[in-house]
Structure 1
Amino acid sequence: MRGGIRVQHQEEEEESAFVSMTDMTVSFLFVVMLLLAFFASQYSESDTVSRTLYEEVIAQRDSARQQIEELRNLVTEKEKIIEVQSTLVEKLRDEIAELKRKIAELEEVIAKSKKPDPLEAYLTRSAAERRRILETLRDQLKVDFPDLEVVISEESDALRFQGEGLFDRGVSTLKADRRAVVEKIAARLEQILPCYTLGQNKNWNVECNPSFSIIEALQIEGHTDSDGTPDSNLNLSTARANSTFTTMTASKPDLVDFHNFRNQPVLSVAGYGQMRPIRTNDTPEGKATNRRVDLRIIMYSPSRSDEIERIRESLEKGDG
């Protein structure tokens, strides 16, 4: 009896649980239906797009994303370039600063160079005056003796009578027809020297010597080629210089009275033999050039700038 009651009771419980689950399922479905009904009520045809438009929008989105990525990469690349260029700009600024410093130094050098050194300027003017004196002598001699071989030295410090212009080969006595040349030189020097020397015959003025130049020495030099012995050539060259000097002073005795800044006669002689060739002695032409008499003008070169004023005063006053 008890067993039957227990089975019945169990069956009632199972039936009750089934009913409950069924009710819950029905309730859930009801809720879902309500939600579907709600969403259905909210549906509008205007909220949908066509497949074509959708794909176009997606394509534009993807393209925009790609462009954004490309632009980001470009920005990164430009940032790297800017970083490199910034370093380069800084380097260039340093170089520019260094160049400006060098420019300033050079401008300072130029500024100093524009202030002429009085001593250097005086020596330059004296060299120019010497060149002018030699050109004047050469041109005058060319007028008086058109066939005379006379040139100005490469250093612009001497007149050169080359070859057999004044003397026969191996002879220290002037050619008979060339004594007139030496005497004419003496006469020209007597006209020129007063403006560039001191002493009793001094006659300076600013028109003839505006640079206040003064002659230190007027040297008659004898030279030979390499034929013969060194001693015989030395004697020959000295004898020729002496012969020229004697002829000049015999014609114009006052030449020995022209003095330099140290109150010494400017006219002097020297013989160098074969020791100072100006061309090779291996050819007849070279030997002819080396056989010569030079009339060399040596200008006085002050050692200090303050001497220039003393030279000026001496020329103006006539003191030697």
Structure 2
Amino acid sequence: MAFIEETGFGSDGHGEEDENYFISMTDMMVGILFIFIIMLMVFALNFKQQTDVSEDRFERLEEARRQAEIVADRLDILKEQVQVELQQLDKSEQVRSAMLQDIRARLVAQGLDVQIDLANGVLRLTEDAVRFEPSNADLDVTAADNVRKISLVLREVLPMYAACATSVNACGGISTATSVETVFIEGHTDVTGRDDSNWQLSTQRAVNTYRVMTEAQPLLRELINRAGREIISVSGYSSTRPVKDESNKAAWDTNRRIDLRFVMEVDDSERLKEVLALTDQMEGQLFELRSAIDAADVP
């Protein structure tokens, strides 16, 4: 009993102090654990939010990538279509060149001096074939006879390159995709005389040539393009498109002339080339977009 009294917790106060110490330590540990749990919860919540943001960002990047691939596929289809059109244009130019060379060969066989510009589709009737006197739109006897020879050759050749005609069996077997849209009879003057008079004069020269042609070969007016309009037409350019720029009589004689300009149904090469260049630029932009998406992607 004495032992208990001597060593008891309640006899000298050490037991209460020790008990209070352990209680304080427990409370502190519980508090630290509680703080740790709170910190862990905050970390978990932040991690979840960051994960949600990453997943949302990833989904948006994936959608952007899908859209880019769709646009790229459409561009590929468009480029294929443009390439087909350009191939058709190349074929059209080849057909026009063959037609002009055929016409020229037939006219040369009849003794007519003509020139051809294959790049622009022009058959040029030189002053030896159709000559105009200064300030005059009338065809003299020789010029009128030569125009009739030209109209006969056009009558023989053009039906093979026309889309259709109003008369039966007037068209040849050429594909309508490479047919003639218009043949412009273009009148020109030299630089002498008043400009306002030269416009009327050049147009009148074209009109007079047209009349002689169609009177000699009425079938030429029956040839129509895919739009159902007559192929043969007229235009006047005054002195704005000279063959020679020299200021002398020889140049003026050359510039007073008639050109026949052949326009094919698919003469849109420049526009298609611009579209093709635009698609190339868009492909470059798409490549940059894909690179940016890949760089911002979440591993």
TM over 0.5: yes
**Would the aligned equivalents of 1:225 and 1:281 in 2 still touch at CA under 8 Å?**
no
Q: Corresponding residue for 1:174?
A: 139
Q: How far apart in 2 are the matches of 1:154 and 1:118?
A: 22
Q: How far apart in 2 are the matches of 1:286 and 1:252?
A: 32
Structure 2 CA distance for partners of 1:169 and 1:302, relative to 1, 3 Å:
closer
Q: How far apart in 2 are the matches of 1:283 and 1:204?
A: 45
Q: How far apart in 2 are the matches of 1:149 and 1:229?
A: 30
Q: Corresponding residue for 1:252?
A: 217
1:289 aligns with 2:271: no
What pairs up with 1:128-167 in 2 under 5 angstroms? 128-145=94-111, 148-153=112-117, 155-163=119-127, 165-167=129-131
1:127 aligns with 2:101: no
Compare relative contact order (CA 8 Å, sep 6+) and give the higher one, 1 or 2. Answer: 2
Whichever residue aligns with residue 171 of structure 2, its letter is N
Decide which moves more: 293-302 or 162-171: 162-171
Could you tell me which runs of 5 or more consecutive residues in structure 1 were left unpaired when the two chains were aligned. 1-112, 305-320
Q: Corresponding residue for 2:8?
A: none
Q: Corresponding residue for 1:267?
A: 232
Alpha-carbon RMSD across the aligned residues, in angstroms, is: 2.7
**Would the aligned equivalents of 1:158 and 1:297 in 2 still touch at CA under 8 Å?**
yes
Whichever residue aligns with residue 132 of structure 1, its letter is A
Structure exhibiting the larger radius of gyration computed from Cα positions: 1
**Would the aligned equivalents of 1:131 and 1:157 in 2 still touch at CA under 8 Å?**
yes
The normalised TM-score by structure 2 is 0.57
Could you tell me which runs of 5 or more consecutive residues in structure 2 were left unpaired when the two chains were aligned. 1-78, 270-299
Q: CA deviation at 1:286?
A: 2.9
Whichever residue aligns with residue 131 of structure 2, its letter is F
What pairs up with 1:57-76 in 2 under 5 angstroms? none
Amino-acid identity (%): 29
Whichever residue aligns with residue 157 of structure 1, its letter is G
Q: How far apart in 1 are the matches of 2:187 and 2:155?
A: 21
Structure 2 CA distance for partners of 1:149 and 1:229, relative to 1, 3 Å:
farther
**Would the aligned equivalents of 2:132 and 2:257 in 1 still touch at CA under 8 Å?**
no
Q: How far apart in 2 are the matches of 1:302 and 1:286?
A: 31
Q: How far apart in 1 are the matches of 2:236 and 2:128?
A: 17
Q: Corresponding residue for 2:182?
A: 217
**Would the aligned equivalents of 2:182 and 2:264 in 1 still touch at CA under 8 Å?**
yes
Q: How far apart in 1 are the matches of 2:218 and 2:175?
A: 27
What pairs up with 1:274-313 in 2 under 5 angstroms? 274-301=239-266
Q: How far apart in 1 are the matches of 2:171 and 2:85?
A: 24
Equivalent pairs, count:
188
Whichever residue aligns with residue 191 of structure 1, its letter is E
